[in-house]
Structure 1
Amino acid sequence: MLDNLHHNYFWFIKSLETYALGIYFIILHSSGTFTPPGNVLEYLDDPPFIFLLGCVATIAMVYTLWNVKYMFYKPLMTGSLAFVWLIFLVAFATSDYVVGRLSFQTMYAFFVVFSIVGQIVVKRG
């Protein structure tokens, strides 16, 4: 398992970041609501989307620790991670556009999406 973790360290970090995004929304939702009202982030912090984040992070964690080579597991894992982070990048960017400022969350989501896509393009195997 340590060899798999060493080999798939990048995906381990991305799965932890995805878990952290879910925890971020759990904490932020319990401390208040997003401004302005009607923001798309008010819908993405609901339990179904947080559950989706947990599922995607778990899929990545399983790949990381056991290096699953069954059928299309890696494309499923990378695609789901990229999709989830891209959705939240667009939501953060939309929220920032409405508010009129650039937030740390948007920049961080951009760099996560950029690193996932870069890893997919550079390491095709």
Structure 2
Amino acid sequence: MEDNLKHNYFWFVKALETYGLGIFFIINRSTGIFLPPGNILDTLDDPPFIFTLAVVGTIALVFSLWDLHHLPFYKPLMTGTLTFVWLMFFCAFGFEDWTTGKLSFQSMYAFFVLFSIIGQLLIKKG
């Protein structure tokens, strides 16, 4: 497991970041911080989406800790779900920033996580 963690440390960090995004929504749930009312983030902080974040984080965590190279579909599944989740939340945070007229830390952070995932896929390819 230690060798797998050394080899897949990047994906381990992305799993923790995905869990962190879920924790962010659990902590901020129903506090009314998302403006204006009816924003897409009001929907994305509901339990089904938080559960989705936990599932995607677990998929990435399993990939980073165990040797799953004998399952050829697992890495594309993991990278695809991670990219989809972070793209969806980046767009939601960006839409909130656009409607409020302010740039938020959340949208910048989601952009950099998404950028690093896509960069890792394009540069490493392995």
Q: TM-score range, shorter-chain basis?
A: over 0.9
Task: Give the unaligned 5+ runs of structure 2.
Answer: none
Following the alignment from structure 1 to structure 2, what is the Cα–Cα distance between the partners of residues 30 and 96?
Answer: 19
Following the alignment from structure 2 to structure 1, what is the Cα–Cα distance between the partners of residues 64 and 30?
Answer: 31
Structure 1 runs (4+) deviating above 2 angstroms are 30-33
Equivalences, count: 125
SS at match of 1:35: coil
Following the alignment from structure 2 to structure 1, what is the Cα–Cα distance between the partners of residues 3 and 20?
Answer: 24
> What is the CA distance between 1:30 and its match in structure 2?
4.4
Partner of 1:76 in structure 2?
A: 77
Following the alignment from structure 2 to structure 1, what is the Cα–Cα distance between the partners of residues 112 and 46?
Answer: 24
The aligned runs of 1:1-125 (5 Å cut-off) are 1-69=1-69, 70-125=71-126
Which amino acid in structure 2 is aligned with residue 123 of structure 1?
K
Q: What's the TM-score once normalised by structure 1's chain length?
A: 0.97
> What is the CA distance between 1:67 and its match in structure 2?
2.7
Q: What's the TM-score once normalised by structure 2's chain length?
A: 0.96
Following the alignment from structure 2 to structure 1, what is the Cα–Cα distance between the partners of residues 114 and 26?
Answer: 21
> What is the CA distance between 1:63 and its match in structure 2?
0.3
Following the alignment from structure 2 to structure 1, what is the Cα–Cα distance between the partners of residues 101 and 14?
Answer: 29
Task: Give the unaligned 5+ runs of structure 1.
Answer: none
